[in-house]
Structures are given as C-alpha cells and as structure tokens.
Structure 1
Amino acid sequence: MIRNDGLVTDNIVAGSPASPLLPAAGRYVGDPEVAANWDQRYAEREQLWSGQANGALVAEVAGLTPGRVLDVGCGEGADAVWLARRGWDVTALEVSGVALARAARHAADAGVTVRWVHAELTHAALTPGSFDLVSAQYPALLRTPDAAAERALLAAVAPGGVLLLVHHAGMETRERHDDGFDPADYVWPSMVAALLDEDWKVELDEQRPRLAPDGGAGAHHADDEVLRARRLR
C-alpha cells in the first residue's frame, strides 16, 4: 500500500521472526534532513534514473545463486525489480519516500514482491549477517568518524555472502563542487576495503569502463570503481 504522503507501508517488513529487519513498518528511521533533501531531488523530475538495472550489478550477480539480498539506496527500484525477477528475496532500503513510492509501483507493475525499508542504512537496525548479497550501487552514504556506514555494509553480509559496492571512479579525490557537493563527505569503496580483515576475501577491486544504461542522472560518468568481497566467516 502507498499512502498519500508517499510512504510505503504494508510492503515494508514489520519485524516478524522470519524477517531480517527489526523496525516497525511505515516510519522513516534516520535524519529527516537527509530524507527531505532526497525527496526534493526526486520530486523535481518524474523519473530521476534510467529505469534499468545497473550494468555492474548485472555483470557481477550473473554467476551467484539467488538468496537474500539487501539493495542499499534502491532509488526508484530498477535493481530491486531486476533481482526479484531472477529469484532473489529482495529487501530494498531508501531514504526518500518519493523514490520508494515509485519503486513500489514499478514492482507491482512487474508482479514481483520486494520488502521496502524507509531508512538510512546506519539507522535501519538490520540483523547482522542476514544477507547473501549486499548490493550498494553508487550509494550516497555519509562519512562519519566512526565509519558507521562502512561497518553497516559489512555487518549485513552473511558468512559466505558477498558485498558488491560500485561507485563512480575518481570521485573521492575531487574538490568540493560549486553546488555544495563535497566528495569528502561521502563513503567510497577504498574506505570500505580498508576495513576488510582476515574474515573477508577480496574477489574484485578494480576500475573499469561503466556499463551505463541510457538516460537518467549520472549517465555521464564513464568509469566505475567496483569492489566485490566475500565474507568467509
């Protein structure tokens, strides 16, 4: 169900014993300013992204056995729908209620089921080790001194599971933009890689040409930084 205020309610997991999520359904969990900023960005366009699954996700997930997946920063739901169509049990997390409402409509049109979570990653109270795949495609995760977002990504992966983190290559070394965007405020793959210990095996850490879908914001970025790591225990 989608409420008039844009929040997805009945589709969000309500913390049942079989669920990897603990928060009650329907309430945003996180910094209201973060949600408001993203709601404003999404509201400026009827469709912000291309509507197609990200190319790096398609390439890297092709050989994996479907299981439980967390889609971090799911946006308008293209990746979540693509994964669900291929047999994955999908939980999709997003700070923007506007984006979640669109994502839920797309999933309904596709005839697939997705658990929608309206929260920041660091506030979502995910049960540790719950997901066979944690996919974060170009996430806007805020950097903090305690590396909370990086640790939350790693903590969500089940033993034997995979973290797939993809971002625009070269961004972390750029200067602050005139519009106020400062790459130093955000988490980049190198920061997550720096936290990997003997419990992890890095399967891929490289820069490569981006498999970019046509249209949508961010289509001008030509190269990806791809980190794929498997949790051993």
Structure 2
Amino acid sequence: MLNFLYYASPFYGFYFDPYYWMIIVGAILSIAASMKVKSTFSKYSKVRSMSGMTGATAAERILHSAGIYDVQIQRVSGSLTDHYDSRSKVLRLSDSVYDSSSVAAIGVAAHECGHAIQDQKGYVPLKLKSAIVPVANLGATLSWPLIFAGIIIGGSQTLITVGILAFSLAVIFQLVTLPVEFNASSRAVAVLSDTGILYGDEIRDTKRVLGAAALTYVASAAASILQLLRLILLFGNRSRD
C-alpha cells in the first residue's frame, strides 16, 4: 500500500520525481518545433513559385518523372496533414498544399512524393518502419496501463519492466522514422531541382521549410527518449531500494 501511495500521489510528479524535468524539456522541444514549422510554412506560403505549379500539379509531375503512375493524388482536410499511404498507394495533400502554388506547398508535396519514390525503390528504412507499425502501436497502447498496473498491485517490477519495454517499441519506431523523413526531404530537394519545378532561391526556401518540418520529428524522438530514460531511472532506482 505504501508503494502505491508513493507512486500514485498527485504530488509525486513534482515533489518525489527527481526526473520530472525530462518531461518538461521534452514538452518544450516539441512545442518549439511545432511553432517553428508553422511559422516557416506560413512565411513561405506567401512566396509564389515562378513555375506557378500547385502542390498537386507538382506532385503529379514528380511522380511521373520517377516512373510512378499507380499513385493517386487526393486532397485531405486540414493544414499540414499531408502524407503518403503506401498500402493504398495514395498521396494525400492538405488544403494548404493541394491548390497552392507557393514554394512551401510545392516543397511539402515533393517531400510526400519522396516517400512514394522510397516505396517504389524498396527503401529499407521505410520497409522497416512499415513493418514495426503494428508492434509500435501495441507497445504505445499497453505501456502505461502495464506500468500503472505494476504500481497498483504493490510495485510489481515485472509488470513495470514489461511496460517500459513496450514503451521502448514506440521510441524505436520514432528513431526509425528519422532517416525515412530526412531521406524523403533530400529526394524532394533533388527532384525539384532536376525537374526545374523550382529555381535558385526557391530551392533554398524549400530547404528551410523541409528543415523546419524535420525538427518536429527530431523533437518528438528526443521527447520520447527522455521519457524512456526517466522511466528507466525512476523505476530502476526503486527496484534497487
């Protein structure tokens, strides 16, 4: 019962947890990265490309230049909700990208095309990422219930350890995501230059947009790593008491 009170105390996170600062740092990193990508995208959304192509038109040209004709391009609601669905072979562009002819919109569309090209070429990190999605989702879903269950039943180190291992699967997924996203951006910049969709300073501006977007993945991975480290330090210390 004392173990439960120790962990479950509403003041535990702030007064009994010497590693709570890791959560705060992770949150700050994530918020800062989100603000950065939104402000950068907003800035370059006001810069019209010299080609006058929309995000959808540019995406179609990029896919065809790569010999990809079996991927559909669809509009999806929201802002910066763009993504490539490898299972259904659909590239979805958000409202702020699909019809926009800005440098930012074309850069984001090209980035998603980069994922389609990865899929076509059998890019190994993308295959690995797709393969571990179910396991990572399961780990993220079960991790905290297992940890809390271990606390409630008297500090069961076995359940807590299993919960931490489950959480680590989600962290591994985020780490695998990093090279996939960076590679997609590199492919995007190269193809935009090779096809002449963007010119000169437009390429520089696109790099800034994609660089800001990449920071969100880095920040998310860093926040998860800090949380995992916190759990290991916190419950590892308790297991040795």
**Structures share fold, TM-score greater than 0.5:** no
TM-score (norm 1): 0.25
* Higher RCO by CA contacts (8 Å cutoff, separation 6 or greater): 2
Q: Which is higher, the Rg of structure 1 or of structure 2?
A: 2
TM-score (norm 2): 0.24
Which has more helix, going by share of residues? 2
